[in-house]
Amino acid sequence: MSAWLAGRGGLPYETENYVLAITGATAQAWADDVRQDGDGDAPERPRRLSISDAAAQCLITVATIRVRRPQHSATEASFAPWGVQLAGNFSKARALASFQRAGARHSAIIGDVQPMVIGTRLRSRGTRAFYRVRLPAASRASASTLCGRIQARGGACVVLRS
């Protein structure tokens, strides 16, 4: 640090970025404050951010990086005791996208039935939630009939108790 203040060395980029992020002034501006001019006068000290300035900067940064939650055209249906599972994934968005593709292939069978999304941790699959997208069914018989129609048209599904 003393070599850098004397002008004989440099600072790591991480340090320069940290000083700028915390104080709002560059490390060089702070170093100029420590050094004296030839006539003995110190240059003006860099302005520190006030709490309100820091809060405003934080809000601007958060607003800039905030990402809106994607809207899915498939809304979640209410819970049913049985379901015909058409898709599953660790990503809820990918599971719903896979369901939408299957729904497009079998629209004559599925119609406008809204899926139910079940997100649970399956210990055999790790600690992350696994999302299963199912068509709701009131009974095992109705779920089996629906799955049989999908399979007859070349689709893949499985009937499971919810």
Domain range annotation of the chain: 2-65, 82-161
Contact by Cβ (8 Å): 153, 109: yes
Is the pLDDT at 10 greater than 90? The verdict is no
Q: What tokens appear for 57 in the block? A: 């900067």
* Cβ atoms within 10 Å, residue 16: 14
Q: Residues 82-161: name the CATH superfamily.
A: Sporulation related repeat (3.30.70.1070)
pLDDT at 48: 58
Which whole number is the average pLDDT over 9-18?
A: 76
- Least Cα distance to 78 among 111, 116, 113 occurs for 116
Which band of pLDDT confidence, cut at 50, 70 and 90, is reported for residue 144? very high
Q: What tokens appear for 131 in the block? A: 């999302």
pLDDT digits (tens, 9 = 90+) for 60-72: 777 777 665 554 4
Q: What tokens appear for 152 in the block? A: 């007859």
